[in-house]
Amino acid sequence: MKTLLCAGALALAIGGFASAANAALVQWTLTDVKFVDGGTASGSYVFDATTQTFSAINVTATGTEGIPAASFSNTCDGSNCDAYLPDPAQNMIFVPADTSDLTGKQVILLDLQSPMTDAGGTIAIKPPEAEAAVTVALRNKAFSTFCPDATCSGPGAMRFIASGEVVGRAVVVPAVAPTPVPTLPPWSLALLSLVLAPIAWMQQRRQRAVAKPARR
């Protein structure tokens, strides 16, 4: 019984730990994101506020005259390219899947009004604070740009995001289907009963013999 209780407690503890870990995963969806030139960005990504890491990045931007459409499925984290931002919960740079050479490739930076948390919710994207032609610090704007070199060490011409927000909802982990327990057919159960019945009867006889007081 003690072994069974310990096993049950361990299972509950493991289940609780898994739930706590999953609770930190939030999927953020780009909503009504528009560039100053009329283009749009859409898609989603998953952010773990506990580990400050991204996954499942699927973001796209429409093209306009002179600017092709682009898709982004990776993030610049300082190890795969130089354009690293120290606060991923509020500032992020999405890049193409292949970061081996970013020369001429389009990337997109999102600068949020407040940090993302595991509570989800709606967070607005910071709009431009000045004319698009003015060069500004990376942390003060949301825009797309083309990398000038292989490691994207700095922005090129900026295509600013005029408005939009990201909406976060907890990632729902699919429930694991219970493993079916094999059952014996009726005839097997009957045969098993016939085998076990004599054994149980003999065990009872032994117990009675031991418990019976000796005659004087």
Any idea what DSSP says for residue 21?
Answer: H
- Stretch among 39-48, 151-160, 204-213 having the lowest mean pLDDT: 204-213
Torsion angles phi and psi, residue 8, rounded to 5: -65, -40
Structure token digits, residue 119: 């509570």
| Helix (H), strand (E) at residue 10 | helix 2-23
First to last CA, the chain: 40
The pLDDT, as a whole number, for residue 205 is 63
pLDDT tens column, 53-92: 999 999 999 998 889 999 999 999 888 888 778 899 999 9
The widest CA-to-CA distance across the chain, in whole angstroms, is 114
Q: What is the pTM of this model?
A: 0.68
Cα gap 146→102, rounded to integer Å: 8
Cα gap 159→70, rounded to integer Å: 13
